[in-house]
Amino acid sequence: MKEIDLKTEKEKVKVSIQGYEGSFHQVAAEQYFGSNVEVIPCSTFRDVIKIASDKNQSFGGVMAIENSIAGSILPNYTLLQNNDQLRIVGEVYLPIQQHLLVYPGVKLEEIKEVHSHHMAIQQCMEYLGEQHWKLVETEDTALSAKHISQRKSKHIAGVASKLAAELFGLEIAVPDIHTQKSNYTRFLILRRVEEMDIIEAADKASINFITDHTKGSLAKVLTIIADGGINLSKLQSMPIAGTNFKYSFHADLEFDSLSQFQKVKQQIAGFTEQVKVFGEYKRG
C-alpha cells in the first residue's frame, strides 16, 4: 500500500498517543502530521503499540523514546523489540515548554494549589518552589488542565503545554516556568509494515543487535560502523530476558544513503547473532 499523502488526505489521520488531548504527544503528532491528525489517547505505551498495530483503529502511533534530561525510556525499547508489526518512519524532537495555566480571569494571588504530572512539577521546581502553593501530583499534565477548565477552578492552577491551554480555554498566567530551558523529548513515528514504502531519502536507522559474545565482538561491530562512515548517535544496552547478564544493543545510525547503511548492516551480521531493524527514516 502506498504511503498516504497527508497534505491531500481528506479524512482525519488517526494515531495513538500516550496521554490525553493537549499532551506533548499530541503536540509532536501535530508537528509531524499537521493539523489533520486526530489523536487516540492511551493510558499506557503498551496500549499505544496495540492500537497502532491495528489497521481498523489507527493510521499508526506516536511514542516518546527519550528525553534530553531524564534519558531513555527503556521499557519502550522493549515494546519495539517485541513487536513485528510496526516500523519507525520518522522522529520529532520537541522542546518541552511548561506553562502555568489558570481559568480565565484568575490572578496569581488567588492560587492555592498547582496540579500536574510529577515530572512536570519537578521540571518547574525552581519556580514553583519559590511560591507558597500546595503541589498536587496528578496522572497527566493535559488532564489536569482539562479538569481546571471543566470545574472552572478559581484557586487551582495547572502546569501543561500551550496546546492544552488552547484546547481547554485556559490562560497562560506565567509562560516558560520550566527550570531547564533546553529540554527536548524525542518522539518516534510508527507505522504498520504492510502500509509503508521504503523512504528513499532516509538518512537514519534504528537497529537492535546481539553480539555473538566472542571476545571483542562489540568492539568489532562498532569499528565496522565507524569505518563505514556512519555516525553512531546512540548506543543503549538492554538486558535480554531469561539470560544471566546478557545484553542486546539498541543503536541509532546516521548515514548519507540507504546503500551505505545496507552495506554496514551486512558486514556486522558476521559478528552478531541477530540484527533487527526498527526503521529507516529521515532524521528529525
Residues 79-92 pLDDT 10s: 999 999 999 999 99
Q: Does 27 share its domain with 160? A: no
Q: Look at residue 196 and tell me if it is in a domain.
A: no
Beta bridge partners of 249: 209, 237
Q: Does 239 share its domain with 126? A: no
pLDDT band at 212 (very low <50, low <70, confident <90, very high): confident
Q: Look at residue 103 and tell me if it is in a domain.
A: yes
Q: Tell which of 191, 225, 252 closes a domain.
A: 191
Q: Does 187 share its domain with 73? A: yes
**Is the pLDDT at 1 greater than 60, yes or no?**
no
pLDDT band at 216 (very low <50, low <70, confident <90, very high): confident
Q: Look at residue 275 and tell me if it is in a domain.
A: yes
**Is the pLDDT at 9 greater than 70, yes or no?**
no
211 contacts 282 by C-beta, under 8 angstroms: no
Q: Look at residue 218 and tell me if it is in a domain.
A: yes
Cα(195)–Cα(201) distance, integer angstroms = 18
* Residue from 73, 103, 262, 247 nearest 168 by CA: 103
Q: Look at residue 117 and tell me if it is in a domain.
A: yes
Cα(36)–Cα(13) distance, integer angstroms = 6
188 contacts 280 by C-beta, under 8 angstroms: no
**Is the pLDDT at 76 greater than 80, yes or no?**
yes
**How do beta strands 99-102 and 247-254 pair?**
unpaired
Q: Look at residue 143 and tell me if it is in a domain.
A: yes
Q: Does 34 share its domain with 165? A: no
pLDDT, one tens digit per residue, over 101-120 is: 999 999 999 999 999 999 89
Beta bridge partners of 13: 37
Q: Does 38 share its domain with 89? A: yes
Q: Does 110 share its domain with 39? A: no
Q: Tell which of 136, 164, 191 closes a domain.
A: 191
Q: Does 23 share its domain with 73? A: yes
**Is the pLDDT at 12 greater than 90, yes or no?**
no
In the prediction, which pLDDT does 10 show? 57
**Is the pLDDT at 125 greater than 90, yes or no?**
yes
pLDDT band at 8 (very low <50, low <70, confident <90, very high): very low
Average pLDDT for 273-281: 94
Cα(86)–Cα(193) distance, integer angstroms = 6
121: left (phi over 0), alpha (psi -120 to 50) or beta: alpha
Q: Does 53 share its domain with 187? A: yes
Q: Does 47 share its domain with 148? A: no
Average pLDDT for 3-27: 78
Grid coordinates of 80: 519495539
Q: Name the domain count of the chain.
A: 3
Domain enclosing residue 68, as ranges: 13-95+183-191
**Element housing 165 (H / E):** helix 162-168
Q: What percent of the chain has pLDDT over 70?
A: 96
**Is the pLDDT at 281 greater than 50, yes or no?**
yes
Q: Look at residue 197 and tell me if it is in a domain.
A: no
Grid coordinates of 215: 571476545
CATH of the domain at 148: 3.40.190.10
Q: Tell which of 191, 223, 238 closes a domain.
A: 191
Cα(68)–Cα(184) distance, integer angstroms = 5
In the prediction, which pLDDT does 62 show? 98
Q: Does 109 share its domain with 243? A: no
Q: Look at residue 265 and tell me if it is in a domain.
A: yes
Q: Does 82 share its domain with 117? A: no
Cα(45)–Cα(95) distance, integer angstroms = 20
Q: Does 69 share its domain with 126? A: no
